[in-house]
Amino acid sequence: MKQEKEIETTTLTPYLPEHRHMLSQFYLPDTQTLFSALPKESLKYCREDCDRHPIVILAEGIPVGFFVLHIGENITPFTNDKKAILLRGFLVDQKHQGKGIAKKALQILPEFAKGIFPNKDSIVLAVDVSNVIAKTLYTRSGYQGTGIQKEGRSGLMEIMEYRLDTMNKDMEEGTK
């Protein structure tokens, strides 16, 4: 099996209108749209709720992924922690999957999120129990199950959390 070359530079940036055209061309197979909305749908919710912050994943400067960082009152179905950020709609366009982009994006996300929201101390997400690939990726990226499960649009979801207040310790341990 041919190994895909890993993308060298993965960066995160707040969504800008010039990203719209490329994001509108993102595609996910039906097996993945069960778990994540495409950027067009997520951006509509962001326009309606100023606590939703759309973020673009860039590989070599080109939009290849997308997610939303959600703060405020409307994240209470997932957590009661007022100092949490909810990670929503995390995806990498199908033609860029398998290159390590999602993994790299999740590795740089904690520092990026802390830069935008310095007063927050965790990132929380809901992953469908049946989405084994995503759950494995989140676990390998430092997210831990909270033991809380919720019913979602496509079945049971598990709430996972990444503690930003332990981020520096984890990063130091990772360099040993």
CATH architecture of 10-174: 3-Layer(aba) Sandwich (3.40)
Per-position b or e across 18-37, b if 16+ CB within 10 A of its CB: ebeebbeebebeeebeebbb
Percent of the chain at pLDDT exceeding 90:
64
Q: What's the confidence (pLDDT) of residue 172?
A: 47
pTM given for the model: 0.86
Residues 41-78: tens digit of each pLDDT:
899 999 999 999 999 999 999 999 999 999 999 999 89
Distance CA 139, CA 117 (A): 23
Mean residue pLDDT across the chain: 87
Q: What's the confidence (pLDDT) of residue 1?
A: 41
Judge contact between 84 and 122, C-beta under 8 A: yes
Spell out the domain ranges in the chain.
Answer: 10-174
Three-state SS sequence of 98-118: CCCHHHHHHHHHHHHHHHHCC
